[in-house]
Amino acid sequence: MQEALDDLERNDILSREQAALLRQIYARELFSVHWELRILLYGGILVLTAGLGLLVAKHFASIGDLTLLAAIALGCTACFAYCLRHGGGFSPERLATPDAAYDYVLLLGCLLLGTLQSYLELRYQLLAQSWNWWLLVSALTYLLCAHYFDNRLVLSLALSTLGAWLGVKTSLPGAWPWDGALRDNAIFFGGLVVAAGAMQTRLGWKRHFLPVHLHLGINVLLAALVAGVGSRGADLAYLAGLLLAGSGSAFYALRERSFAFLLYAVLYGYLGITIFVFNRGHWSSEGVIFYFLASAASLLMALVALHRRFRSAE
């Protein structure tokens, strides 16, 4: 590598400064902390929002409703004003991020908006028994912000909130979280999210949003199908659906060289098959131990081999 850089510098393909920078990178004297900083910023936004929620819950009586509402609304307005001033605008293509704080200020504004809605409902019961519609309003607002400001963090928040609204709306008090209608609605929601991402990509609208749709949609879909395998009566149908969806995820992984989607297919498939096998047979304790030892070892070796193939293909 050093000889190649020397040749490039000698032939005036690289300047002295460029060659020196590349030598530092190759010697690992310089390294990127981009993702570490992004994780810290994201965690800081979540901690700040959680702290605000605790503050509201603990001191709303002494501070006063109007003061708290005004403070939250002011912070939310300031965040959106900052984002409107520095960026935004509908575009089917990826928009350049104006600065490092832009994405996180937008995320903070959306979370403050959710806090404001929650506080209004908590104190004034504006929707009473229909409070779950606040989730739908929040989800649609976040979805609009994600597309207008071209932000994948907010898109994740929007899709998660939409799924939460669907789950709250259809669940029954005291029901098992993955039981009955809720499980089937999770399958519908996961398929809908994946289909929406694929449709956007085909139409040429926000193609870079596709991974967000796929990661969330496939995980929800496969998890719901695995839960269905554990149900009595329709376990074979759910297993067939799980294998079909897992095959689609694996095919996409191989086509796009994305190991994560292959990992989803293998792990959820293994879990579903394991549940099906144990539900359909009578196993001794020795058989259970042998099954998990043999299957887990085989699964681990397969994943390591597949990961090496993906790395070598890159």
- How does pLDDT run along the chain (314 residues), one tens digit per residue? 566 666 666 666 677 777 676 666 666 554 555 556 667 766 776 777 777 667 766 666 666 778 888 888 999 999 999 999 988 677 888 888 888 788 888 988 998 898 888 888 877 888 877 888 899 999 999 999 999 999 998 999 999 999 989 888 776 454 444 467 788 889 999 999 999 999 999 998 899 999 999 999 999 999 999 989 987 778 899 999 999 999 999 999 989 888 899 999 999 999 999 999 988 878 888 888 898 899 989 988 988 888 888 776 55
Per-residue pLDDT, 30: 47
Whole-number Å distance between alpha carbons of 219 and 264 = 7
Per-residue pLDDT, 288: 87
Q: Quick one: 216 exposed, middle or buried, by C-beta within 10 A (0-12, 13-18, 19+)?
A: buried
User: Measuring CA to CA, how many Å separate 101 from each of 92, 107, 154?
Assistant: 23, 10, 14
- Reduced to 3 states, what is the DSSP secondary structure of residue 310? helix
- Reduced to 3 states, what is the DSSP secondary structure of residue 175? coil
Buried b (16+ CB within 10 A) or exposed e, 197-212: beebbeeeebeebbeb
